[in-house]
A = this chain, B = another copy of it.
Amino acid sequence: MKKESSAPTMKDVAREAGVALGTVSKVVNGLPVGDSYKIRVENAIQKLNYQVNSYAQGLKASKTYTVALLIPNTVEPFFSALTYHINIALLKRKYRMLLCSTDFDLAQEQEYVTMAQQNKVDGIIGLTYNPNLIIEENTPFVTFDRRMGANIPCVASDNFAGGQLAAEKLADFGCKNVAFLRIGSSLTNEPNKRKAGFENGCLSRGLHYEMKILDDGEPYEEFEKFLAEHIHDGKLSIDGIFCVTDKLALYVIQSLRRLKQRVPEDVQVIGYDGIRYFGDQEYMCSTIVQPLPELAEMCVELLLQENMKTKPPLVCLPVTYAYGGTTSEFTDKSESFKE
């Protein structure tokens, strides 16, 4: 009697079936084997309830079918949705996902990278904040929204076009005097292009605009102050606001309520990301929607494509506008069609 407790191995199956080790391996991997042998092996596998050890497989093949996802957390709706869709995209290709919540901690991010490499993952997808992340050459890496180097592909929504679209929508909906609100200073972020796109859109539509851009440390209250300063005789001089994220948009909407301004009657608000209640219900605000399933697919596709000499340094996917109750599109032109 041998080890009873630990899981059965190929050797056990071979002994049980009365065949050689290699034969079992072939059956397991679907390689041609004589029918009678095959049946005997399959029976033995059944009987012993054998499962291959993918660690040992990985050791042989130096391929682990595992990808690490570095993301700040899984509680903010955008992150959790991205996590979900990347998981789906990986599963489709029979890859497993190692989840690494970094909590915006730069050191933690580096630790996770090291861990992932020790685990010999087949690749890493990262939405990270450490611009100096050290990643081994031979570990495929794809980032979301961050440019980290020429040979590290970055996948993002078309942030510039999104900003522009926001301006155009506000113009369409009758705004004359708009503002862009943003927090976060990192200059290398792709999302920073939202500002440039918005400016561009405002200019082409002849919209007067203002910017309020906060650094990472500053409190959201600064935005409320900014808004309060634009109120004269109870009336806000701004009639349209584009916020860099839906999260900020929702804060701004609350601020506006406190300031006795009605949304969307007095001022319209558009966010960015396209987050929804419970992940699949209504949009939390009118917004520029990132195409999450497609973005996730692209990250995974780019990451796992091995025979690609030069990977594209930046891939931007198209965004769309979605109504979420904080714009008054239906009171303008749309209404007139009903007549």
User: B-contacting residues of A (Cβ < 8 Å)?
Assistant: 5-7, 49, 51-56, 58-59, 62, 64, 66, 69, 73-77, 80-81, 83-84, 87-88, 91, 96-101, 114-115, 117-120, 136, 138, 247, 250, 277-280
Contact = CB atoms under 8 A, between A and B. Distances in A.
A138 B56 CA distance: 18
Interface centre among A5, A52, A55, A81 (most CB of B within 10 A): A55
10 tightest CB-CB pairs across the interface, nearest first? Answer: A75-B279, A80-B80, A99-B99, A74-B84, A87-B101, A74-B80, A54-B118, A74-B83, A55-B58, A51-B118
Contact of A5 (B98, B101, B138): B138
B120 A55 contact: yes
**How many monomers of this chain does the complex have?**
2
A64 B55 contact: yes
Contacts of A98: 66, 96-99
A118 B52 contact: yes
A273 to B, nearest CB: 11
13 contacts: A5-B138, A49-B136, A51-B117, A51-B118, A51-B136, A53-B118, A55-B58, A55-B59, A56-B59, A59-B59, A75-B77, A76-B278, A87-B100
A118 B96 CA distance: 12
Nearest to A103: B88
Contacts of A136: 7, 49, 51
Contacts of A97: 98-99
B87 A80 contact: no
Contact of A84 (B73, B81, B96): B73
A105 to B, nearest CB: 11
A51 B52 CA distance: 26
A87 B64 contact: no
A247 B59 CA distance: 45
Nearest to A75: B279
A262 to B, nearest CB: 17
A7 B77 CA distance: 37
B53 A279 contact: no
A74 B74 contact: yes
Contacts of A51: 114, 117-118, 136
A76 B100 CA distance: 19
A179 to B, nearest CB: 22
